[in-house]
Amino acid sequence: MALKFDDNTKKLALQALVIVICLGFILETFAFGNRAGSAPAGSQQGDIYSGVAIVQMTVVDYRPYLYVDDGLNGSLRESAAGLEGVDEILDDGGRTVISLSSPRDAPAVYGQLRRMGVLTYTLSSVSTPAYFEVTLQNGSTRGVSGSRFDYLMEPVTSVGGKIMMRMSVQAIDGRLDGIGNVMPMVQFMDLEFNASVENGSGRTFYYAVPWESRGLDVANLTAQFGTGNVEYVRNDNILLAVALTPQEMLAKKYDYVATISERSITVAGDFTDKGRIAQDFGNVTYHDSSLIIRSGEDPGLAFPHEERTFYTLALPEKVGGYNLYEESYSLEYAAGLEGEIPVVMNASVLGETIEEINGIRVVEQG
């Protein structure tokens, strides 16, 4: 038979819950496992050592609530209240606590809320392996028996799932005595899948401007294509084939030379006389300047260039068995992408969740 509480009782329960959550923050900083009792007076305390461990933890359980820092208002609150697994939403000031039907609902409700742009977390119980190694300050390793502790985190994996954590450990005679500075560790993965190209827009033109043509009228290009749509990096450097002696550097500091070193010179931006440079310095190597123009139409400049387009890729909810909460990704690529294309995503993965997309590249065919 379900128990019913009046509003005052619910408020007291909520306040107690907030206190537990605050305690969770403390536990996140320093959690105690199988803490050894005090040694009797006059006895030996035992072999004490400490170090750092990177351990694959198991999520044993979650608490049956999710915590929202900034609260839920308006349509978000209404949408959250209608999610499967949500029993009730309680407020206390700027905080919101979402009561769940079962602790095992935490990952699913977390995922649905995250797709709505709401970030939540809860207090979890995590367990180390039965035995793991700690790296001491001198680089050696020692074994420690495992334990279980509470940790405040996003429910990024199902109950029974794994998550890598880095933590400071203190042990006595091989028994875990204290845990601190617990930090989940993301894993960087390359995940291959097929993505759907939704549309392509925003053409970008990358130009290699020859050295003798580098005196571009950038102000005119900006007026033509708009502020922020023109980027230009002029290269006034010239690489010399033969190193100069200190005496030659002094003698060859001509009026058009801005800087000079053993193997290179920099000339004035409006100087383009290659014949004079060949006469004064012999064989040299010239460098192109870089021009980027973003435009819906081809700018029509007579320089070598590459055209690329911004595409919107529709992303699946799962990639390689990991939950993905981003619905789309903007990709810059050469013209011609359409339909479903094979891509590789470099992702930061935590538990069963893709925390961040670091980049997506198209798998070249053939």
- State how far the Cα of 304 lies from the Cα of 291, in Å rounded to an integer: 10
Measured from the Cβ of residue 295, the count of other Cβ atoms closer than 10 Å reads 17
Residue 181 φ/ψ, nearest 5 degrees = 50, 45
Instruction: Determine the pLDDT at residue 366.
Output: 60
3-state secondary structure of 230: strand
Which phi and psi angles does 336 have, rounded to 5°? 115, 0
Are 334 and 309 spatial neighbours (Cβ–Cβ below 8 Å)? Answer: yes
Could you tell me the two tokens for 136? 């001491």
pTM of this structure: 0.68
Asked if residues 31 and 182 have their Cβ atoms less than 8 Å apart, the reply is: yes
- Please report which helix (H) or strand (E) contains residue 246, including its range: helix 246-251
Residue 45 has a pLDDT of: 67
Query: 86 - beta bridge partners?
Result: 100
Q: Are 197 and 47 within 8 A, CB to CB?
A: no
Q: How far apart are CA 56 and CA 51, in angstroms?
A: 16
Which residues sit opposite 189 in a β-bridge? Answer: 347
Cα(34)–Cα(30) distance, integer angstroms: 13
Q: Among 58, 68, 66, 67, which residue's Cα sits nearest to residue 149?
A: 58
Question: Which amino acid is present at 289?
Answer: S
Per-residue pLDDT of the chain (366 residues; tens, 9 = 90+): 333 334 444 444 444 444 344 434 433 433 433 333 333 334 346 789 999 999 999 999 999 999 998 878 888 999 999 999 999 998 877 779 999 999 999 999 999 999 999 999 999 999 999 999 999 999 999 999 999 999 999 999 999 999 999 999 999 999 999 999 999 999 999 999 999 998 777 889 999 999 999 999 999 999 999 999 999 999 999 999 999 999 999 999 999 999 999 999 999 999 999 999 999 999 999 999 999 999 988 999 999 999 988 899 999 999 999 999 999 999 989 878 889 999 999 999 999 999 999 999 999 876
| Of 210, 265, 217, 273, the residue nearest 241 (C-alpha) | 265
Closest of 366, 316, 365 to residue 345, by C-alpha: 316
Q: Which two tokens stand for residue 349?
A: 């993965």
- Altogether, the residues listed in the chain come to a count of 366
